[in-house]
């Protein structure tokens, strides 16, 4: 009886661990806004590529660089053009919502953008 209970407990722990892995949300992947104009890509090796509206000109601009995530904080360092943005991100109903706390030259400070996975 004790062995059966122990085996069931171990099976339950494994099932919960697998479920948590499959349900884990990650920023890695391709995202776009509802208008299908802004497109973001976060790669698993820390690279970032995007086509988005520049906060200074409002025109679509192609940018690239790297990103670092720490908890709900994200820092994007662009190499082209040279700029750094920081903010917070969260997942809401499967969408990626980013608040650009410090938008650098690219995004207005304290603005929010929502993207869905493509």
Task: Assess whether pLDDT exceeds 60 at residue 10.
Answer: no
Question: Does the pLDDT of residue 13 top 50, yes or no?
Answer: no
pLDDT digits 0-9 by tens, 26-69: 999 999 999 999 999 999 999 999 999 887 678 899 999 999 99
CB 116 within 8 A of CB 95: yes
Domains of the chain in start order, with CATH, are: 26-117 (2.40.128.280)
Where does residue 107 rank: exposed (0-12), middle (13-18), buried (19+ CB within 10 A)? buried
Which range, of 71-75, 88-92, 108-112, averages the lowest pLDDT?
Answer: 108-112
Could you give the 3-state DSSP secondary structure of residue 3?
helix
Strand, coil or helix: what is 101? strand
pTM for this entry: 0.75
């Amino acid at each position: 009886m004790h062995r059966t209970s122990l085996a069931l407990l171990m099976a339950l722990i494994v099932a919960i661990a697998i479920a948590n892995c499959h349900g884990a949300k990650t920023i890695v992947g391709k995202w776009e806004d509802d208008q299908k104009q802004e497109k973001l890509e976060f790669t698993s090796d820390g690279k970032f590529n995007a086509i988005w509206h520049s906060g200074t000109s409002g025109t679509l601009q192609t940018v690239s660089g790297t990103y670092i995530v720490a908890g709900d904080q994200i820092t994007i360092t662009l190499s082209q053009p040279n700029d750094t943005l920081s903010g917070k991100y969260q997942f809401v109903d499967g969408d990626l919502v980013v608040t650009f706390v410090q938008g650098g030259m690219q995004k207005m400070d304290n603005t929010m953008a929502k993207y869905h996975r493509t």
